[in-house]
Structure 1
Amino acid sequence: MVGFEARTQQGAALRPTSHFVYESIYTAILEKRLAPAAKLSKETLGQIFRVSNGTIQRALTRLAEDGAVVMPPKEVASVARPDERQARQVLDARLLVESEVVRQLPAGLDPAALAELRALVDEEQACLAARDSAGLIRLAGRFHLRLAELTENPLLQGFVRGLVARASLDIALNKGAVYTAEACVAQRALLDALEDGDSAAAAALMDAYLRGLFARMRFLPPPTTDLREAFGMKAPRGEKRRRA
């Protein structure tokens, strides 16, 4: 990430804020430089960013609110692991909200807006070819946010912004190839329906597109804390009874 060293070398008056720390960690997760379950020691982060533990704590708290970080009581914070149940909840919410977004759009979108959205899909395709997963996730999020902005409904925009942020993290932490050429084809079909003024078809295409993203996600089982289970061994019968 560009900018951190330059900023910290400009002196104490320009020490990174909690927002800068938040953005830096968020970007590292999005770019897969921080793996799921990676420990986020406040002391180590404080040394890296040259800020107080309080500043780190505020950044981690925001990240936890966004679902990027988990902060168990009296334990070191860590990067969240992909969670299928939570990802399904995000999908269900997106199906409700984003299908309504396309229904709320004016019949026959402005040609300039359509051109802007098509350019975003073209950029996604370029990121796909370059294997730039972080850029792809950002552009796909911008595509959805732009659609929400075109409704001119600030409440819908807020809902979409929160859901896209959470979904982007789910995808960044995921092992599956979620955004594919197929996703770009689906986006273009959605824009064609909007250009034709067919909001019902656009809503159906949005539904199929979002379900397709979820279907391509791959979730790993949570790691075990049981040593025998970790090495493929069964616990003795007597031990099982004691546990029960």
Structure 2
Amino acid sequence: MTTLNQDLIQYVLRQADTPLILAQRLCAWCSHAPELEIDLALSNIGLDLLGQARNFYSYAAELSGELSGENVDEDSLAFGRDDLAFCNLLLAEQPNGGFNDTLVRQFFLDTYHFLLHQGLSQSSDPQLAAIGAKSLKEAEYHLRFSRGWMIRLGDGTELSQKKMQQAINDLWRFTGELFHSDDVERCLAEQGIAVNPESLQAPWLQIVQQVLQEATLQLPEEEAYRHGGKQGKHTEHLGFMLAEMQFLQRAYPGCRW
């Protein structure tokens, strides 16, 4: 039972870390986006993701407290762990770059999250099922937003198409990790608790191919190969982001507004 609880905590943290890191990236666009409508949309999507992260962190804190007998809360999980303890997907921590880079990163992850929360809403774990069902409504909007802009810019001017294709080519190597499963995920999936990432690859690729075709963009020929974020092996970008995001709690431990 202890092993199952430890695996569940690890799995829930994975679901929390990715939206938290992605929210931090998106909110950096505030007052810098190409136009006011996009500025507001990216900030709102970031807030949605932050809310999803909080739901997962709260559940992970509850599970951790029951297992260890210590007082664990969502803030300690978000602001008290070092980069090696984070288990977010590598794609989420990649720099914003230009709007084309942010948009492609968002589209890849929106498609993944839409399918993930569809599966989680059917989890045998009531808490995960509730979080998945709530998050799915937001994921549908997020995907509609990023899908629309993928098509608009891909099938836009020669320059916008070139920039979108470049972003796809640059970020493609991180997409394989979305579907890379390990013993934690496979064990929980067999019990109906988790979603096995491998089961999401075919529907994800189908959606991505349809959108890219409509956007007159191409799938890269290069095979996706970067992974390890879920096991705490990150790119150099995460440490810099956490240094900024965690500064207040690190400087003033336990501070309250």
Tell me which interval the TM-score lies in, with the shorter structure as reference length: under 0.3
Q: Name the structure with the higher helix share.
A: 2
TM-score (norm 2): 0.26
Larger Rg: 1
